[in-house]
């Protein structure tokens, strides 16, 4: 059963991003790009509206990817989430429409529009996601998109890049803390669904820990003091981007998260203790800084900081009705701030300046823009009957309730902040639009396109209508949204413009008057005459980043800069500590149970290792290494692993051969000096080595002592053989039970060999001019007996490989052993008859053979899906010819693939090394 | 089997680490081979010990069979460590030729720079004439 609302919600979220991708891939011209982006945003908007009309649907899951790992794509379709999605999509639509006129036909427009659309998707996902991990993904996606939006000028734009990096690093650092919070909540409650989390009652400690982890994310994202500095910095972005990021979206993400988690974590004392002071500080500080800006865009940025502080402060009050007020102000602020940023963009377009020192009198040139500005700035200042008045009034009323310190702090901060807000709003409006023009630029301001006016005017209309419509707004919008956030019906008076004369109203009047007086009569004009720098936070941050980089360089220098040996030693030492902690397990080993065969194997091993350490010349050391491999094979046999023994023996033969070839391929100058005699550091190395050996032995002893209730082994021993129709369980595991592993590992072997061939071939190409074509020796390197013997050995080797392959499923053997045997056979042929013989005999390149083998494995793997079974399902059948029934398994096909891959890889590597060694000798002879 | 495996793992690791910390690349390759042996034995020993090879034969109690899972792991690990050794050997031969030393080069800043330069010349095939 497909859940259609889930599909619908996914379309809602994905549409803008898909349009963005289409714009980038299609390299669309601006008009076309606009059409796509506006269309997609409109689709999201109507979807959100339609889903909202359907009423709350709870959680709908689109895709349960890995429910056991809490990985699901699921949406929470509640009134509140959909209303926020509506806001995001609505402002998104207006901003994209506005960008069309703002950028005109400039070239970077397609990119900006595409990024804005992608950002919109991330934000929509953030509002709707139910799964906590999905929520986190969207959270970080907004940060990633904003990075590219803010650094609009590309890598050459240093200022933009710096601002973008700061915004990104600050918010992502917070985001990491949020990820930990999410994981903590999942670990504590065993659920990753936000909806089910909200229905739980958490322990107070859990609440506080989760909140403490969540708060850094919230506070950085919503630009609260002291991490607010990234927001004014981000003003280097084009104005439409700011209009979107800093009104309805990026900075609201933190607020939205707070609202979502309020029912779950609001009970923690930390809630008020952190949010109230931080919100208050941000509210006041942002407001004060906004007062002294002369760039109107920076003024808006600081105003945003202040307003975010106000909302955070209100949420910090922590009562249901305060949440309601915060929600109202969130919407009101999104609407007026988006509009105001657009007006800033319009002013910039008309007068080509954003400085208050140069603007003035724009009312005459752009009356409609001035009208919209009056309404929206009025709403920001909280003038009745605009939307901003409604919300600020509500906030003031709620702040007067509660404990004394809360009361004093909240009201004090709100009053201070709001006085400032009135003052800078008034300053913005009057100095830009009224009076005389203070420069020629302002005097010669152009008229604006309708495209730049449409969105601000629409937002202004909404702002105006909200006041008189307050009772309806309350009943149809605010009440349901607040109910769906808080999860309980609210006992409040309905929202209204007029509650009668009360303390809040009187305060409001006082705030507006004082603010206006401060601006108009006390002459704020002179405050901002010097260009103000942002608070030093940005510079402090930069210097920290530089310090961090230096520290990183230093660590790298210590760990690996000096010599690989140093970090090898460090790695070994790090491995030691946990290993040595297991040392007591060594005492538990029943040393008496050491059997004679095992004792002999160990004795042989010890002898060989001593020889290896004593030997100086390379060839003897290689031969000793081979002998050690044989001893290990013996241990494998004693541990009841015949397949392992076979594999190990064949591998040892090959490795010896390759070592010899590599030594031959060394330049003559190195060959004489390769003898190992290293005195320096012997004692340190020796100590580390002994300790490492002890640690490894302890691990072995501890592992062996673990009680094994081995379900997997039992399953494979009891259940699997009849199904897989094989008796050699190791081969059954390799070709059937864990065939995916085998597939990957075969690929690794082939890739290793191809890498080697590539490494040496590159050199061959460089050498070609020198050696001139006559590659390899037609005359075998070893004359005499070998070619004659080889003629007998080769067929036997091939036959052996074939036997191993066919028998492998029921007896020791299998694809790997067969492939290695073929490899050994080929190498004997190579030594006896030379490389030309090998290539001619095979009539195909060995690398090709290896790739063919991989192809065969993949083909076998694909048979399952082709017949409607899972990937890599092995099929079993019987073939009856004339009364004889032959069992047929696709595992055989799989093993043939493994054999070809391994044989091809070994052969190709051997040939390449041989050719290199050969050339080295020729070079010497000349 | 545990005592023998414990001794073998300890010894192989010990000598392996000693060689890996050497200055000569050739010794390092030898040491890595030994460490691979040790790891394989460790993995094998981690499984349930059995009394017979993991091959189903009529009339043999299944629980006597050795655990096949670690064996399968080790089998592929052996082949992969072979591939790794091969690659290291090729890199060793090639590196010794390019850098004209078979020791691990101590990477002081100036050294690294000059080595990089010589590798660059080698790889691009230029500067052959002077050699």
CA separation for the pair A495, A497 (Å, rounded): 7
pLDDT digits (tens, 9 = 90+) for A679-692: 667 888 888 899 99
B125 touches chain A (CB under 8 A): yes
Report whether pLDDT(A137) > 60. yes
Taking the domains of chain A in order of start, what are their residue ranges?
A: 1-266, 268-530, 534-561, 598-663, 726-926
Tell me which chain A residues have a C-beta less than 8 angstroms from the C-beta of B6: 586, 589, 697, 700-701, 704
Q: How far is CA A9 from CA A51, A62, A86, A256, A516, in A?
A: 8, 9, 12, 18, 46
Confidence of residue A108 (pLDDT cuts 50, 70, 90): confident
**The two structure tokens encoding residue A761:** 């071939």
Do the Cβ atoms of B41 and B8 come closer than 8 Å?
Answer: yes
* Average pLDDT over every residue of A268-293: 90
B64 touches chain A (CB under 8 A): no
Do the Cβ atoms of A423 and A505 come closer than 8 Å?
Answer: no
Phi then psi for B72, rounded to 5 degrees?
Answer: -65, -40
For residue B104, give the nearest of A563, A655, A685 by CB distance.
Answer: A563
**B46–A703 CB contact, under 8 Å:** yes
First to last CA, chain B: 57
pLDDT digits (tens, 9 = 90+) for A483-521: 888 888 877 777 777 777 777 888 888 888 888 888 777
pLDDT at A767: 55
Tokens 């509640």 — which residue? A78
3-state secondary structure of A624: helix
Tell me which chain A residues have a C-beta less than 8 angstroms from the C-beta of B45: 639, 700, 703-704
Task: Among A242-246, A467-471, A551-555, A769-773, name the one with the lowest average pLDDT.
Answer: A769-773
Task: Among A305-309, A462-466, A472-476, A665-669, name the one with the lowest average pLDDT.
Answer: A665-669
Confidence of residue A705 (pLDDT cuts 50, 70, 90): confident
3-state secondary structure of A384: coil
% residues pLDDT > 70 (chain A): 92
CA separation for the pair A867, A865 (Å, rounded): 5
The residue in chain A having the minimum alpha-carbon distance to the alpha carbon of residue B37 is A632
CA separation for the pair A637, A641 (Å, rounded): 5
Task: Among A535-549, A722-736, A783-797, name the one with the lowest average pLDDT.
Answer: A535-549
Do the Cβ atoms of A91 and A334 come closer than 8 Å?
Answer: yes
Do the Cβ atoms of A485 and A386 come closer than 8 Å?
Answer: no
**The two structure tokens encoding residue A368:** 């409609």
ipTM: 0.84
Burial class (CB in 10 A: 0-12, 13-18, 19+), A185: buried
pLDDT at A821: 93
pLDDT digits (tens, 9 = 90+) for B15-54: 999 998 887 888 889 999 999 999 999 999 888 777 888 8
pLDDT at A217: 93
What string of H, E and C letters represents the secondary structure of A32-99?
HHHHHHHHHHHHHHHHHHHHHHCCCCEEEEEEEEEHHHCEEEEEEECHHHHHHHHHHHHHHHHHHHHH
pLDDT at A561: 58
**A912–B90 CB contact, under 8 Å:** yes
**A716–B69 CB contact, under 8 Å:** yes
Positive or negative, the Cα torsion across A35, A38, A43, A49? negative
**The two structure tokens encoding residue A646:** 């076979």
* Average pLDDT over every residue of A552-557: 80
pLDDT at A527: 54
* Average pLDDT over every residue of A357-382: 88
Half-sphere exposure of A339 (CA within 13 A, CB side): 32
* Average pLDDT over every residue of A437-446: 80
State how far residue B25 is from chain A, nearest Cα, in angstroms. Answer: 9
**The two structure tokens encoding residue A137:** 């993904």
State how far residue B78 is from chain A, nearest Cα, in angstroms. Answer: 7
Report whether pLDDT(A898) > 90. yes
For residue B21, give the nearest of A612, A688, A762 by CB distance.
Answer: A688
Burial class (CB in 10 A: 0-12, 13-18, 19+), A784: exposed
What string of H, E and C letters represents the secondary structure of A406-425?
HHHHHHHHHHHHHHHHHHHH
Contacting B residues, span 6-25, partner chain A, CB-CB under 8 Å: 6-18, 20-24
CA separation for the pair B26, B33 (Å, rounded): 11
pLDDT digits (tens, 9 = 90+) for A611-654: 999 988 888 999 999 999 999 999 999 999 899 999 999 999 99
Phi then psi for B65, rounded to 5 degrees?
Answer: -70, 145
The residue in chain A having the minimum alpha-carbon distance to the alpha carbon of residue B28 is A565
Better-predicted residue by pLDDT, A372 or B52: A372
């Amino acid at each position: 059963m497909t859940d259609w609302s889930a599909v619908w919600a996914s379309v809602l979220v994905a549409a803008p991003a898909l349009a963005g991708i289409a714009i980038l891939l299609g390299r669309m011209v601006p008009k076309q790009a606009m059409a796509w982006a506006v269309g997609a945003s409109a689709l999201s908007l109507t979807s959100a509206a339609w889903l909202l009309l359907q009423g709350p649907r709870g959680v709908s899951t689109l895709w349960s990817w890995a429910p056991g790992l809490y990985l699901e794509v699921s949406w929470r379709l509640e009134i509140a989430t959909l209303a926020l999605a509506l806001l995001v999509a609505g402002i998104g639509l207006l901003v994209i429409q506005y960008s069309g006129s703002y950028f005109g036909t400039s070239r970077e427009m397609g990119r900006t529009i595409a990024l804005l659309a992608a950002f919109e998707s991330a934000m929509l996902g953030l509002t709707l996601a139910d799964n906590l991990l999905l929520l986190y993904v969207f959270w970080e996606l907004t940060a990633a998109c904003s990075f590219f939006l803010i650094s609009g000028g590309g890598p050459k734009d240093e200022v933009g890049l710096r601002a973008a990096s700061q915004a990104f690093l600050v918010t992502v650092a917070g985001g990491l803390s949020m990820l930990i919070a999410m994981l903590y909540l999942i670990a504590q409650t065993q659920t990753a669904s936000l909806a089910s989390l909200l229905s739980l009652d958490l322990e107070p400690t859990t609440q506080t820990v989760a909140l403490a982890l969540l708060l850094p994310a919230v506070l950085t994202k919503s630009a609260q003091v002291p991490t607010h500095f990234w927001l004014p910095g981000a003003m280097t972005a084009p104005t439409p981007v700011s209009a979107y990021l800093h009104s309805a979206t990026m900075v609201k993400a933190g607020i939205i998260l707070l609202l979502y988690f309020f029912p779950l974590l609001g009970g923690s004392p930390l809630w008020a203790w952190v949010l109230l002071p931080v919100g208050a500080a941000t509210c006041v500080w942002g407001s004060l800084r906004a007062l002294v800006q002369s760039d109107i865009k920076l003024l808006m940025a600081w105003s945003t900081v202040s307003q975010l502080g106000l909302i955070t402060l209100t949420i910090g009050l922590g009562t249901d009705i305060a949440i309601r007020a915060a929600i109202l102000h969130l919407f009101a602020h999104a609407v007026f701030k988006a509009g105001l940023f657009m007006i800033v963009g319009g002013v910039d377009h008309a007068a080509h300046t954003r400085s208050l020192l140069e603007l003035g009198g724009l009312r005459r040139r752009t009356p409609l823009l001035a009208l919209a500005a009056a309404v929206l700035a009025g709403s920001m200042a909280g003038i009745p009957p605009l939307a901003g008045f409604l919300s600020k009034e509500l906030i003031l009323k709620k702040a007067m309730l509660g404990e004394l310190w809360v009361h004093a702090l909240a009201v004090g901060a709100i009053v201070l902040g709001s006085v400032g807000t009135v003052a800078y709003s008034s300053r913005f409006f009057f100095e830009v639009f009224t009076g005389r023009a203070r420069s020629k630029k302002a005097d010669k301001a152009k008229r604006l396109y309708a495209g730049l006016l449409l969105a601000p005017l629409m937002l202004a209309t909404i702002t105006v209508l909200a006041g008189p419509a307050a009772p309806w707004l309350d009943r149809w919008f605010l009440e349901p949204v607040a109910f769906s956030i808080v999860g309980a019906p609210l006992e409040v008076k309905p929202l209204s413009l007029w509650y009668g004369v009360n303390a809040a109203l009187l305060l409001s009047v006082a705030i507006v008057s004082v603010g206006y007086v401060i601006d108009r009569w006390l002459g704020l004009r002179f405050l901002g005459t010097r260009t103000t720098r942002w608070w030093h936070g940005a510079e402090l941050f930069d210097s920290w980043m530089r310090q961090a980089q230096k520290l990183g360089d230093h660590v790298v220098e210590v760990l690996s800069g000096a010599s690989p040996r140093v970090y090898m030693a460090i790695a070994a030492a790090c491995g030691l500590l946990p290993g040595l902690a297991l040392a007591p397990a060594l005492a538990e080993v029943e040393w008496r149970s050491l059997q004679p065969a095992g004792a002999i194997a160990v004795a042989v091993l010890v002898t060989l290792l001593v020889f290896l350490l004593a030997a100086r010349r390379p060839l003897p050391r290689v031969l000793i290494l081979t002998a050690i491999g044989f001893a290990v094979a013996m241990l494998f046999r004693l541990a009841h692993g015949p397949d392992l023994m076979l594999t190990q023996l064949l591998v040892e033969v090959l490795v010896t051969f390759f070592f010899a070839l590599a030594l031959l391929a060394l330049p003559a100058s190195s060959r004489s000096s390769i003898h190992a005699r290293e005195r320096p550091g012997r004692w340190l190395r020796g100590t580390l080595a002994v300790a490492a050996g002890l640690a490894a032995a302890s691990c072995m002893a501890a592992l062996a002592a673990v009680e094994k209730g081995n379900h997997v082994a039992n399953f494979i021993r009891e259940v699997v053989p009849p199904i897989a129709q094989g008796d050699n369980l190791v081969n059954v595991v390799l070709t059937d039970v864990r065939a995916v592993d085998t597939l990957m590992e075969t690929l690794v072997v082939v890739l290793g060999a191809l890498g080697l061939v590539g490494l040496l071939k590159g050199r061959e190409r460089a050498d070609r001019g020198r050696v001139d074509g006559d590659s390899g020796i037609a005359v075998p390197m070893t004359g005499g007996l070998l070619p004659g013997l080889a003629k007998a050995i080769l067929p036997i080797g091939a036959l052996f490989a074939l036997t191993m392959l066919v028998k492998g499923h029921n007896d020791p053997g299998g694809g790997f052993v067969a492939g290695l045997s073929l490899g050994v056979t080929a190498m004997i042929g190579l030594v006896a008859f030379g490389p030309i013989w090998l290539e001619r005999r095979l009539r195909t390149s060995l690398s090709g053979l290896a790739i063919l083998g991989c192809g065969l494995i993949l083909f076998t793997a694909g048979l399952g899906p082709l017949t409607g079974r899972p990937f890599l399902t092995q099929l079993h059948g019987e073939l009856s010819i004339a009364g004889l029934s032959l069992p047929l398994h696709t595992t055989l096909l799989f093993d043939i693939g493994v054999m070809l891959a391994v044989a091809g890889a070994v052969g190709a590597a051997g040939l390449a090394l041989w050719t290199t060694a050969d050339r080295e000798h020729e070079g010497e002879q000349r | 089997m545990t005592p023998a495996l414990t001794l073998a793992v300890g010894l192989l690791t010990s000598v392996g680490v000693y060689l890996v910390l050497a200055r000569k690349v050739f010794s390092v390759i030898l040491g890595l081979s030994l460490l691979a042996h040790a790891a394989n034995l460790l993995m094998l020993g981690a499984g349930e010990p059995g009394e017979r090879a993991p091959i189903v034969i009529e009339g043999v109690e299944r629980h006597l069979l050795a655990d096949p899972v670690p064996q399968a792991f080790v089998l592929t690990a052996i082949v992969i460590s072979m591939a790794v050794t091969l690659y290291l050997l090729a890199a060793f031969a090639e590196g010794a030729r390019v850098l004209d030393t078979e020791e691990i080069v101590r990477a002081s800043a100036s050294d690294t720079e000059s080595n990089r330069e010589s590798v660059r010349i080698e790889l691009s095939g230029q500067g052959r004439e002077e050699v």
